[in-house]
């Protein structure tokens, strides 16, 4: 395979613009097709970035011979449908986080990728950042001993608008799926199988619901059989400190703006032992695109950095959190099961 990736975009919105900025900075990567239900939006997306990309429907982009991989950037409820279009055409898929809206959909998407032998990766961009990889290395080497506590917070204030994607239940709105997934992903990095294994931790959650019924604020506590604990917070109605702190038996790790971290700090005996700085090449979205390129070269269907099983397990944990707080989306038959997908096996 030649250097780079030819990308098709499904859903030319704000997140796709951020992704495009990263693609523009990578040698050999280019956006060759833009798909939208509204052709004018696709035309405008191409024009503002001086792209000569094809414009078409989601189906046309997914089947285009000029596309190696499809980036799914549509609202959460469209992820399964739109990723499936590409997977059935043999196109690699980088699907925006959360992978789907619930575990039944995540299982269906990953199974389709396996059936077709096609690469599928969740665009949890924080997991591919160099700073995150450094933290992963410190944890693996035992630099802080056994992880015992994690505290992570991500919140911003979005004025209430019942029609916005953040507050609309028809669009799977709420803080958990939009940004709480980042805190859970970090917890998976820190605690591994204790979080994503079949047993899972004890979960305690308190939440405040918006007038539309979605969660606007969640406090989540994960308690593990070992005695380790994660305290996670996500909000779309208030600003939080955006930090993450990992405490181990022999040291700790600190991250500012952990979901887009450029720096990781290692502490031993309360003394700073190492500081690693990682300026972005563009805006941070480039590292997930680079991972897709690497996986395509290898002929892989999933990333070892974020395998399908982990994406599914985190959707299962988010389903359980929603059960605890009573957030069910209109298109679900029960919490965690989309009517058109059916009960999980």
CATH code for the domain in which residue 255 is found = 3.30.360.10
- Show the domain range for 82: 6-125
Predicted confidence (pLDDT) per residue in 133-146, tens digit: 999 999 999 999 99
Residues 106 and 149 in one domain: no
- Given 277, 309, 332, which residue is the final one in a domain? 277
Residues 139 and 263 in one domain: yes
With 70 as the cut, is the pLDDT of residue 344 above it? no
- Given 97, 125, 153, which residue is the final one in a domain? 125
User: Would you say residue 337 lies in a domain?
Assistant: no
Mean pLDDT calculated for residue range 107-128: 99
With 90 as the cut, is the pLDDT of residue 342 above it? no
Confidence of residue 2 (pLDDT cuts 50, 70, 90): low
In angstroms, the CA 302 to CA 304 distance is 7
Residues 21 and 39 in one domain: yes
Determine the pLDDT at residue 339: 81
Active-site option among 2, 97, 149, 163? 97
Predicted confidence (pLDDT) per residue in 281-295, tens digit: 999 999 999 999 999
The mean predicted confidence, pLDDT, of the chain is 96
Residues 173 and 44 in one domain: no
Render the burial of 17-35: b for 16+ CB within 10 Å, e for the rest: eebbebbeebeebbbbbbb
Number of domains into which the chain is organized: 2
What CATH number is attached to the domain comprising 83?
3.40.50.720
Indicate if the alpha-carbon torsion angle 298, 277, 97, 326 is positive or negative. positive
97: annotated active-site residue: yes
Residues 211 and 116 in one domain: no
33 contacts 56 by C-beta, under 8 angstroms: yes
Predicted confidence (pLDDT) per residue in 188-243, tens digit: 999 999 999 988 899 999 999 999 999 999 999 999 999 999 999 999 999 999 99
User: Would you say residue 92 lies in a domain?
Assistant: yes
Residues 120 and 148 in one domain: no
């Amino acid at each position: 395979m030649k250097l780079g990736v030819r990308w098709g975009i499904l859903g030319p919105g704000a997140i796709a613009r951020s992704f495009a900025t990263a693609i523009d900075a990578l040698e050999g990567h280019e956006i060759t097709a833009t798909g939208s239900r509204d052709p004018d939006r696709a035309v405008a997306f191409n024009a503002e970035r001086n792209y000569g990309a094809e414009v078409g429907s989601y189906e046309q982009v997914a089947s285009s011979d000029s596309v190696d991989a499809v980036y799914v950037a549509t609202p959460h409820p469209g992820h399964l449908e739109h990723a499936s279009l590409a997977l059935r055409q043999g196109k690699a898929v980088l699907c925006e986080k959360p992978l789907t809206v619930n575990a039944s959909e995540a299982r269906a998407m990953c199974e389709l990728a396996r059936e077709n032998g096609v690469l599928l990766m969740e665009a949890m961009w924080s997991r591919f950042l160099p700073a995150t990889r450094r933290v992963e290395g410190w944890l693996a080497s035992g630099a802080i001993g056994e992880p015992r506590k994690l505290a992570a917070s991500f919140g911003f204030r979005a004025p209430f608008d019942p029609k916005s994607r953040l507050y609309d239940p028809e669009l799977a709105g709420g803080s958990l799926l939009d940004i709480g997934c980042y805190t859970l992903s970090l917890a998976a990095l820190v605690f591994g199988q204790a979080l994503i294994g079949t047993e899972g931790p004890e979960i305690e959650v308190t939440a405040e619901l918006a007038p539309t019924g979605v969660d606007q604020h969640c406090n989540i506590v994960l308690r593990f059989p070992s005695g380790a604990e994660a305290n996670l917070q996500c909000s779309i109605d208030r600003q939080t400190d955006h930090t993450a702190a990992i405490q181990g038996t022999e040291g700790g790790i600190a991250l500012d703006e952990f979901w887009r971290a450029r720096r990781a700090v290692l502490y031993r005996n309360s003394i700073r032992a190492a500081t690693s700085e990682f300026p972005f090449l563009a805006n941070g979205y480039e590292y997930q695109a680079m991972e897709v390129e690497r996986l395509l070269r290898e002929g892989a269907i999933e990333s070892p950095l974020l395998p399908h099983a982990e994406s599914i397990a985190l959707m299962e944990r988010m389903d359980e959190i929603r059960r605890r707080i009573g957030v069910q989306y209109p298109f679900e038959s029960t919490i965690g099961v989309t009517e058109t997908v059916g009960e999980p096996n």
